[in-house]
Structure 1
Amino acid sequence: MSASAPTPPGVALLERAIGYTLGSLHVVTPLALTRPTPCDAWDLRALLVHMDDSLAALHEAIGCGRVDLVAAPHAEPAADPVASLRARACHLLGVCTGAPPRDRIAVGDLHMPAGLMFAAGAVEIAVHGWDVARACGHPRPIPPALAAELLALTPLLITDADRPVRFAAARTPSPSAGAEDRLLAFLGRGRATGESGGTRQGCAG
């Protein structure tokens, strides 16, 4: 029996982030789609559409080794954004399983380490999964081991240049804060929507 191909760097982390976020989709109801999220610019429906677009880009990166910076024409919004996102996520998990190892991904005319791109995708998808659950009033903690790995990567992915446009100013976590609270604080989020310190400003992606 031939040995299985090694999982591309960063893809295993991305798979875990997607698994967590799929759990958050279970708490979304049709009435919740117009609720505000920890991202100022989006209500829950808009956030789900954004997440769908992000997964489509990751699918392209993993399957083709490149991401086109020219946005494709938008199709009509899905009647059921949760079902659309869930199908996209499950399809991406299937692509991850058979993805060929890649060292670099072409992003337009530039190239970046594949592991770094997949790590960025994992941070975005997991934190938006947290956003979804918060918006629905059913908080779901990010698993401690996953939060710790994402926290270790965020300083490599987010710089002062990303604030305050993509992310709010970082908050100061309490000395006893665990990995999830420190991750959320670094991304300008808090545990309660509307809390001071940038919870409603800035979003990954």
Structure 2
Amino acid sequence: MSRADAVSTEVRAGVSLLERAVGYLLGVLPLVTDEELDADTPCRDWDLRLLLAHVQDSLDALNEAVDDGQVTVAPDPGSFAAPDAGAERAAGAVRESCRRLVAAWSRAGGGHEVIDVGGLRLSAAIVTGTGAIELAVHGWDIARACGAGRPLPPVLAEELLELAPLFVHPADRPGRFAPPLPVPEDAGVSERLLGFLGRRS
């Protein structure tokens, strides 16, 4: 296999992982109601309304990556205010961005092998892998805020757990992710992933 073929295979694998993470996120969005928007989430100091705004921001960045081959560095997660929108509008905007994202990355295939993220050149596989972790785990956060038990699919969780130590660095804590939490030795793969990312399932 040539280097170009190997890179293309990595990109397609990253896109596939991103698609499955988006699928999980889409599955929890119907749980969002107006009554839940002020609910606490596993993300410290964020209610559900702010979490949805952050997810929308992440989706915008991923769409920028596939459309333009670059991502403008996002603001600090706590520095933006969530729009005063009802649940239908907020969840609907996330849902539409998810669909646009999957369609755009599927069309692009291996089109962007390298993406400029705030001046840092990263492979498309890293960008899609990081995006998959972000969207899947925040999908779990949304379900938890809505009082629903929606565990991450084991196969998806296992793949994300393999990638998480590569993509989540000490500098990301306590900004993007909380410090890791201990889990029982017999914990399942989803519980271990969530514990690594500072969440107690």
With the shorter chain as reference, the TM-score category is 0.7 to 0.9
1:67 corresponding residue in structure 2: 71
Q: Normalization by structure 2: what TM-score?
A: 0.85
Aligned equivalents of 2:185, 2:50: Cα separation in 1: 35
* 1:90-109 to 2 correspondences below 5 Å: 90-101=99-110, 102-109=112-119
1:19 aligns with 2:23: yes
1:54 corresponding residue in structure 2: 58
Cα distance change, pair 76–143 in 1 and its aligned pair in 2 (3 A): closer
* Identical-residue share of aligned pairs (%): 46
1:111 aligns with 2:115: no
Q: Normalization by structure 1: what TM-score?
A: 0.84
1:41 aligns with 2:45: yes
Q: What per-residue deviation string (whole Å, max 9, x for no partner) do you get for residues 54-103 of structure 1?
A: 001001101221112377x9996555201111111111111122014122
Cα distance change, pair 75–38 in 1 and its aligned pair in 2 (3 A): closer
* 1:154-165 to 2 correspondences below 5 Å: 154-165=164-175
Q: In the alignment, is the contact (CA less than 8 A) between 1:34 and 1:45 conserved in 2?
A: yes
1:152 aligns with 2:156: no
Q: In the alignment, is the contact (CA less than 8 A) between 1:169 and 1:188 conserved in 2?
A: yes
Cα distance change, pair 84–70 in 1 and its aligned pair in 2 (3 A): closer
1:189 aligns with 2:193: no
Structure richer in helix, relative to its length: 2
Aligned equivalents of 1:37, 1:85: Cα separation in 2: 17
The alignment yields a C-alpha RMSD, in angstroms, of: 2.2
Q: In the alignment, is the contact (CA less than 8 A) between 1:9 and 1:114 conserved in 2?
A: no
1:131 aligns with 2:141: yes
Q: What per-residue deviation string (whole Å, max 9, x for no partner) do you get for residues 114-173 of structure 1?
A: 101110000000000000000000110100000000000010011222223332221111
1:88 corresponding residue in structure 2: 97
Cα distance change, pair 63–172 in 1 and its aligned pair in 2 (3 A): same
Question: What letter matches 1:111 in structure 2?
Answer: R
**Unaligned regions of 5+ residues in structure 2, if any?**
1-7
Aligned equivalents of 2:12, 2:116: Cα separation in 1: 16
Q: In the alignment, is the contact (CA less than 8 A) between 1:78 and 1:84 conserved in 2?
A: no
Question: What letter matches 2:113 in structure 1?
Answer: D
2:4 corresponding residue in structure 1: none
1:30 positional shift: 1.1
Aligned equivalents of 1:74, 1:138: Cα separation in 2: 26
Cα distance change, pair 77–118 in 1 and its aligned pair in 2 (3 A): farther
Question: What letter matches 1:122 in structure 2?
Answer: A
